[in-house]
Structure 1
Amino acid sequence: MWSSLTSFLSAIAFSKMSYSQLTDAFARGNEYLRVVQSYALEPGMVDIENSLWGYYTRTLQSDQIKICTWIGNNISQVNAQLEEYLQACHECFHPQERHHIKIFGAPLAQSFGIDGLCNILSKPIIILIDVGRIAPEDWLSLVAHEYAHAHVGNAGHNQQFADVLHHLCLGLNLEPPTDDEMKIELKLRSWPYCRSTQNPLAFWMGEM
């Protein structure tokens, strides 16, 4: 699985494009961000402008253009990979137990300090994953965590969530929480463990 993911990441680097291609890509990326903002629990959860202040000294406008352009060119590949992981989670349950869930990659606002979110109030349920905040090898782990919220229909980390997450980890060959860890909400909040990236926005700028 990981070798295919490495090939996927190598294939979505920036290439030489004409001015019209760049502007078209920017428009697609900008529109995509507008749409996923409407999927979040609140629009401000999907944000790049405020997040840029902590990482870059270049002009905000040029960085925003770069991010939107990269998204316009590459988000379909990112979402295809996330969809593959979503389907792997679905396979851990009988068809009648599966919920209608959509998943998208999006840069989440740094101020919220989260790697992903699950909007259980939407129909279908929406999962947003900031793939720039965690190592690519851990994308599946984060999808599994948010999927557990979607399956339970609750934003908390209670025993029902722990049971579903444990089941998912076994089915996806991820390390499951121990019996003791399943009783500790603080442990469950970040299970499975995901390695953080140094600069969450580097991925969205095509710099990884």
Structure 2
Amino acid sequence: MDAAMSRATSGAVDPPLIPLPEHIAELLSDVGSPLRLVAHLRAVHDVGYQLVAWLEKHRPSLIFDREAVLFGAATHDVGKAVHLGELSGPGSAHEEAGQALLLGRGVNPEHARFAATHASWTRQDAGLEDLLVSLADKVWKNKRVPDLEDLIVARLSEATGRATWEEFIALDEILSHIGERADERLAFQASFPIHS
């Protein structure tokens, strides 16, 4: 792995971002992911990690697949390695391509699904893990999506028995905190080229 890829996946940066797991860094390198994409995935993974850590600390009785959320956050846009135009422009072709790419590399279908589902959180069968990956993909740049947040609040309220307004306030607080470093995460991503 060259120095630029190493910096994108695990280098010391400001703001501090947790490194991508080594197996994911290797996967992204193997599929030829552009450095900008790798930086984006690291930023979203870091936010996913913050969300998971918050849930584990403040909602310890909540049952969800932590590893699935973290894998989904770290790989959700992997299909953009195939559809490079979607790195800097709109498009959804990367979603199915990403899932196919991951499945073709032996990734568990339960984890590969996030590449295809991260933008379709309104589906009836979207689980909490899907919603959390979608949320991480929005809030990393401080984009707040009320309908998505409402779905998560409803799931939290149902699982914990706490009032909806209490869950709303708690979620809003952590998302506001995460959003405070959005400009720095955006700058980190922008410091890498779109084309390697």
Same fold (TM over 0.5): no
| TM-score normalised by L of structure 2 | 0.35
| TM-score normalised by L of structure 1 | 0.34
- Higher relative CO (Cα under 8 Å, sequence separation at least 6) belongs to 2
Which structure features the higher share of helix residues?
2
Larger Rg, first or second structure (1 or 2): 1
